[in-house]
Amino acid sequence: MVRSSNPKTISRDLNRSLERAIDSLISDINTDARDITPVKSGFARSQGRRTGSYRIGDTGVIVENRAPYIGILDRGSSRQAPNGIMTPVLNKLSKRRTRL
């Protein structure tokens, strides 16, 4: 929340709020993708990772899964996740409202 009339302070506070909201969204994407990943041996689920924290102007945040067959699962080849992984995750998160 902005509690100042100083433009620099207002800008800094808004940037921090935006960074926190985007960082939270990225964490939710990672968590939800891991949760929806089908489990046979647990390998694909264990390979999901998030690196970095979001900062304005930075491109260092990555959500990835290094399982060699994750693309096949994401295309819906599993009965546990017939709609894939990322499409349901992004649909779910796009319906959620986030307050800055």
Domain range list for the chain: 7-95
Compute the chain's Rg from CA coordinates: 17
Task: Return d(Cα 26, Cα 67) in angstroms, integer.
Answer: 20
Centre a 10 Å sphere on the Cβ of residue 42 and count the other Cβ atoms it contains. Answer: 9
The pLDDT assigned to 7 comes to 87
Task: Return d(Cα 23, Cα 40) in angstroms, integer.
Answer: 30
pTM score: 0.80
CB 37 within 8 A of CB 46: no
Q: Which residues contact 4 (CB under 8 A, 6 or more apart)?
A: 10, 13
Q: pLDDT tens for residues 33-61?
A: 999 999 999 999 999 998 888 888 887 78
Per DSSP, the chain holds a count of helices (H) and strands (E) of 4, 2
Secondary structure of residue 51 in the 3-state scheme: strand
The pLDDT assigned to 99 comes to 53
Indicate whether 100 pLDDT > 50. no
